[in-house]
Amino acid sequence: MKQNGILLNTRPVNGKTADELGDEHIGTSHDTPLREDAFELDEDLKVELIEKHFREIMQILGLDLSDDSLSGTPYRVAKMYVKEIFSGLDPKNKPDIKLFENKYQYNEMLIEKNITFYSNCEHHFVPIIGKAHVAYISSGKVIGLSKINRVVQYFAKRPQVQERLTVQIANELKELLQTEDIAIVIDAMHLCVSSRGVEDTSSSTVTTFYGGKFNNDETRKEFLSHIYGGR
C-alpha cells in the first residue's frame, strides 16, 4: 500500500519477503529509483521531516532523548542524510565539469586509481566503503583529474547497489568525455555483509566496466597491471 508515493508496508513481493529481496542484492535499473516529485520539498523541510521521524524511531527503540548525548541525534542524522551522504540524489549537486582540448596530444590511457568513496546500501542503509579505479583514452578532450573523483563521489552519495554505481559512473564519463574508451573497477566492502547477516568481515565485492578500446585484451591487461601491479 502506498500513500503519497510512500510504501507503507513490507508485505512479500513476488512471493519473497523484504529480507529475502535485500539479501539477494536485487537491482532494478541503471537509474536510481526516484519519484517524480522527489525535489518538490526544499532541503530544510526535508531535514525537519526526517528529524521528526528519526526521533520517533529512537523513541520506539526505547532510547532516552532527554539525555544530552542523544538529544541532538535526530537533527544530526537528518542533516547528514540530506546534505551529506545522500546529497548525490539532487541533480543540483552534480559537479560542474569543463572539458579542455587535449593540447598535449596524449593518446594513451589516463588512470585515476584508488579513489576512496563512501556510499550506502539501498537495501539496509548501511555503508559501502570502497576504492574506484577509473581510466579513459582521450578522443580529443580531457577533464581535470579531480573531476573524475567528483563524478565518483556524486553517484556514490545516494542509496546504491555497486553494479548500478559502476554503470552510472561509466555512462557519465562516456557522455562527458565523448568517448567509449572508459574502464572502471570498483572494489568495495559492504557493511550489510560484514556487520549483519552472514557477518563476513574479510570479503569484498568487485565490479567492472570496459568500453571501447578497453575491450581489447592487451589494453585491458595494461590497465589492470597499473592498478594491481604493485600489490
Q: What is the predicted pLDDT for the residue at 22?
A: 57
Q: What is the mean pLDDT of residues 176-201?
A: 92
pTM listed for this prediction? 0.87
Does residue 29 contact residue 168 with C-beta atoms inside 8 Å? no
* pLDDT tops 90 at residue 213: yes
Helix (H, G, I), strand (E, B) or coil at 200: coil
Candidates 42, 53, 24, 150; CA nearest to 90 is: 42
* Average pLDDT for the chain: 90
Is 121 tagged catalytic?
Answer: yes
Q: Which three cell numbers stand for residue 179?
A: 568517448
Question: Which has more confidence, 30 or 111?
Answer: 111
Name the catalytic one among 133, 153, 172, 192.
Answer: 192
Where do we find the cell 520506539? 60
Domain 2-93 has what CATH class? mainly alpha
Is 199 tagged catalytic?
Answer: no
Lowest mean pLDDT among 6-10, 80-84, 139-143, 211-215: 6-10
Is 59 tagged catalytic?
Answer: no
Candidates 208, 206, 207, 204; CA nearest to 189 is: 204
Name the catalytic one among 122, 153, 160, 168.
Answer: 122
Question: Which has more confidence, 22 or 223?
Answer: 223
Neighbour tally for 95: CB within 10 Å: 17
φ, ψ for residue 68, nearest 5 deg: -55, -35
SS (H, E, C) 182-223: EEEEEEEEEHHHHCCCCCCCCCCEEEEEECHHHHCHHHHHHH
Is 133 tagged catalytic?
Answer: no
Name the catalytic one among 124, 153, 168, 172.
Answer: 124
Residue intervals of the chain classified under CATH 3.30.1130.10 are 100-228
Name the catalytic one among 121, 153, 168, 172.
Answer: 121
Residue intervals of the chain classified under CATH 1.10.286.10 are 2-93
pLDDT (tens digit per residue) in 43-99 = 999 999 999 999 999 999 999 999 999 999 999 999 999 999 999 999 999 999 999
Where do we find the cell 539477494? 24
Let me know if 23 is exposed, middle or buried by CB neighbors in 10 A (0-12, 13-18, 19+).
middle
Q: Which three cell numbers stand for residue 11?
A: 508485505
pLDDT tier, 225 (very low <50, low <70, confident <90, very high otherwise): very high
pLDDT (tens digit per residue) in 95-145 = 999 999 988 889 999 999 999 999 999 999 999 999 999 999 999 999 999
The pairing of strands 6-7 and 2-3 is antiparallel
Q: What is the predicted pLDDT for the residue at 68?
A: 97
Name the catalytic one among 153, 160, 168, 190.
Answer: 190
pLDDT tier, 196 (very low <50, low <70, confident <90, very high otherwise): confident
Is 226 tagged catalytic?
Answer: no
Name the catalytic one among 51, 123, 133, 172.
Answer: 123
Domain 100-228 grouped into CATH 3.50.30.10: no
Q: What is the predicted pLDDT for the residue at 9?
A: 54
Q: What is the predicted pLDDT for the residue at 23?
A: 61
Name the catalytic one among 153, 160, 162, 168.
Answer: 162
